[in-house]
């Protein structure tokens, strides 16, 4: 696979990873997760565009501004359960997306079990802590390679 662009979007409160409820979200900070993702992407000829925002509008703008990307990895945080606007942005750019969650959202509160985003994604990976992002990257890379064949 030649060099392709993938965007990684970290939603609200993920800037506090490592400090925020480490018993749920782990002790690894966002900078460390991004470093791991960048290293893995480089090994696989992927160019990353990474952002974190607590603002729904900024996330939508980023998706639209990067519609030349070949894939999206998104952890929409709490917007998972509420944002039709982010869902519509992903659907409108027609880019394969993978939804990511650090915790197993299906083993938590009832309201966390419904995703507005998942229906417009290839799949959802949750419950593997920071490794959820790397698993998502692997799944997305495999999908893109299959599309090339």
Catalytic pick among 101, 106, 114, 143: 101
Which of 10, 25, 79, 133 is labelled catalytic?
A: 25
- Residue 25 is among the residues annotated as catalytic for this protein: yes
Q: What is the pLDDT of residue 112?
A: 66
Q: Per-residue pLDDT averaged across 14-20, rounded?
A: 89
Measure the CA–CA gap between 59 and 12, rounded to whole angstroms: 10
**pLDDT above 70 (res 5):** yes
Q: Judge whether residue 1 has pLDDT over 70.
A: no
Domain edges within the chain: 4-148
40 catalytic residue (yes or no): no
Topology adopted by domain 4-148: Rossmann fold (3.40.50)
Q: Are 73 and 136 in contact (CB under 8 A)?
A: yes
pLDDT tens-digit series, residues 63-115: 999 999 999 999 999 999 999 999 999 999 999 999 999 988 776 667 666 79
């Amino acid at each position: 696979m030649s060099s392709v662009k993938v965007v990684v979007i970290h939603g609200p409160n993920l800037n506090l990873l490592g400090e925020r409820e480490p018993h749920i979200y782990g002790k690894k900070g966002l900078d460390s997760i991004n470093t791991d993702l960048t290293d893995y992407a480089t090994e696989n000829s992927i160019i990353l565009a990474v952002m974190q925002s607590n603002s729904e509008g900024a996330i939508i703008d980023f998706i639209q501004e990067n519609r030349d990307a070949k894939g999206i990895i998104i952890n929409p945080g709490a917007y998972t359960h509420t944002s039709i606007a982010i869902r519509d942005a992903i659907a409108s750019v027609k880019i394969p997306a993978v939804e990511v969650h650090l915790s197993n959202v299906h083993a938590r509160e009832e309201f966390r079990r419904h995703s507005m985003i998942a229906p417009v994604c290839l799949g959802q990976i949750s419950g593997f802590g920071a490794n959820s992002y790397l698993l998502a990257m692997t799944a997305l890379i495999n999908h893109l390679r299959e599309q090339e064949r």
